[in-house]
Chain A
Amino acid sequence: MTQTAAASNVTPLKPAQPAEAPASARVVALPTPKKPFFGPRMKTRAMDAAATFIPPLLTVGALLLFWEVLCSSPTSSLPSPSRVVTDTWELIANPFYDNGGNDKGLGWQLYASLKRVALGYALAAVVGIGLGALVGASTWAMRGLDPVFQVLRTIPPLAWLPLSLAAFRDGEPSAIFVIFITAIWPVIINTAVGIRNIPQDYKNVAEVLRLNPIEYFSKIMLPAAAPYIFTGLRIGIGLSWLAIVAAEMLIGGVGIGFFIWDAWNSSRISDIILALVYVGAVGFVLDRIVALIAVAVTRGTANA
């Protein structure tokens, strides 16, 4: 019976609970703290957004106001922004109408131009990266081709148009060729520079690992030169969009360039202004798209 003896020696710390303890306790609901409508995190995010968007909005507002004041007199040669909106409301509201022929909404006009740019630019990107890789990797290719490129790239895009019209005998491929020949030079030159600048360290790694030429191209050369290549691609897309408007003015048909020329011939100045706004917006979006692809592909080593 040592257990009971031991038990009697121990002083209980707490008196044993009485069996019939009153088990009634009221649950008091604490008042939930009032959540502010904008949490602190939301607030900083809103502040950031404001800091990003308010300055450009102010600038645009000021420019529009300036323009409005400048062109408000009834004798002014150019319409004021408010006039532009009222004049072109039909076009703004119906971007995708189609009355046959060239009488199409601005959406279709832009679509036609974008299609030409997409084709010419895609060709320029593929051929440009290929040629750039060749010029960057081989000294002899560089010696042979670089002087030719340096001369050809200074030829203005539109100067190619008569020649390509003569060669293709059709407006559509000629326009695409003009885009191609405009966009290809920055792609070639930047790719070549990127490949020539691959650090010796990476080449040493490739040599120690005994990468074969195909592995070297895909695992070292392309990723190492990717930031440069995308710089070229970004300049290229900008130039293509510049060139397409000019080329379309000359070849006619559907397309934002000819739309502008047509509007000028029928003195629809407001339509021209609206088209210019669209051209600028599309050019901006194209540039951002290539930049975002660059960031995604190079995993952040290229600048957005």
Chain B
Amino acid sequence: MTKPFLKIEHVDKSFSRGAMTNEVLKDVSLEVAEGEFISIIGHSGCGKSTLLNIVAGLTKATKGVVFLQDKVVDEPGPDRAVVFQNHSLLPWLTCYENVALAVDKVFGKTKSKAERHDWTMHKLKLVHMEHAKDRRPSEISGGMKQRIGIARALAMQPKVLLLDEPFGALDALTRTHLQDQVMQIQTELNNTVLMITHDVDEAVLLSDRIVMMTNGPSARIGEVLEVPLERPRNRLELVSDRAYIAARAAVLKFLYERHRFVEAA
């Protein structure tokens, strides 16, 4: 068996406030192979964002370790680029400058100025945003902002791409469009991706494996589902695909039968 690329080992996370301790994650372990697309799905508040932040290094685990290529992850870094749910573009920079900030920081020493410019433009082209390069984030739509966010993350040439509910704040049409684009980029670049979502269709469509989390507090990985679908995948053809329907049903069953979100009812 090949060595896992990304390894999450027995991670616990609890937030304490005075005497109150709130355990969010309990004994989470996951192994991810290189080039794999993993979705983490679960109800709101189950700690999936916390898990992603631990992998990103933005939050420290209370117990347990994350290894990336056998190296311990203990701080944030561009090898684990994050696409934030609310895009987090810097509003005083243009789209080009937002991506260039990352490129200049990551490749400031290894690439020449012209190479960095080409690299930035290439990433903008990859998400079809080169036409808006001189616009500011406030002047473009939510979907476009998220595409710039994806371009910025890809521009860091990360070992793992972390997507924190990247399409959560978008309308349904824009979301499908962006999902298709992410799939296309994924076939081109074959990144290792960890994506958080609460959209069942999105999880099944995009991922190789779906990690289903139980409800918090003390959320665990409840089940891991392989998605045995050939790539490239086509949204329309999959609608009637039996494997797709079965996978979708399994996730729905997990979320709404076995781990219903009680507080929401």
A residues neighboring B (CB under 8 Å): 199, 201-202, 204-205, 207-211, 215, 219-220, 223-224, 226, 298-299, 301
Contacts and interface: CB of A to CB of B under 8 A. Distances in A.
Main secondary structure of the interface of A (DSSP, over half): helix
A210 B78 contact: yes
B44 interface: no
A208 B82 contact: yes
A210 B108 CA distance: 13
Nearest to B81: A208
Contact of B76 (A208, A224, A301): A208
Contacts of A210: 76-78, 105
B86 interface: yes
Contacts of A219: 101
B88 A211 contact: no
Interface of B: 56-58, 75-78, 80-82, 84, 86, 88, 90-92, 101-102, 105-106, 136, 156
Contacts of A298: 92
A215 B105 CA distance: 10
B106 A207 contact: no
A202 B105 contact: no
B56 to A, nearest CB: 7
B105 A211 contact: yes
Main secondary structure of the interface of B (DSSP, over half): loop
A223 B78 CA distance: 22
A299 B78 contact: no
Contacts of B136: 299
B78 A205 contact: no
A210 B56 CA distance: 12
Contacts of B81: 208
A301 B105 contact: no
Nearest to B136: A299
Contact of A207 (B58, B91, B92, B156): B58
A205 B90 contact: yes
A209 B92 contact: no
A118 to B, nearest CB: 27
A223 B90 contact: yes
Contacts of B101: 209, 219
Q: Which of A199, A208, A209 has the most CB of B within 10 A?
A: A208
A204 B106 contact: no
A208 B56 contact: yes
Given A219-B101, A299-B136, A208 B90 contact: no
Nearest to A219: B101
Contacts of B78: 208-210
B84 A301 contact: no
B171 to A, nearest CB: 21
B144 to A, nearest CB: 17
A113 to B, nearest CB: 35
B84 A204 contact: yes
Contacts of A224: 90, 92
Contact of B88 (A205, A223, A299): A205
Nearest to B94: A299
A301 B92 contact: yes
Q: Which of B56, B78, B86, B92 has the most CB of A within 10 A?
A: B92
B90 A207 contact: no
B92 A204 contact: no
Q: Which of A207, A209, A298 has the most CB of B within 10 A?
A: A209
A215 B106 CA distance: 13
Contact of B105 (A209, A226, A299): A209
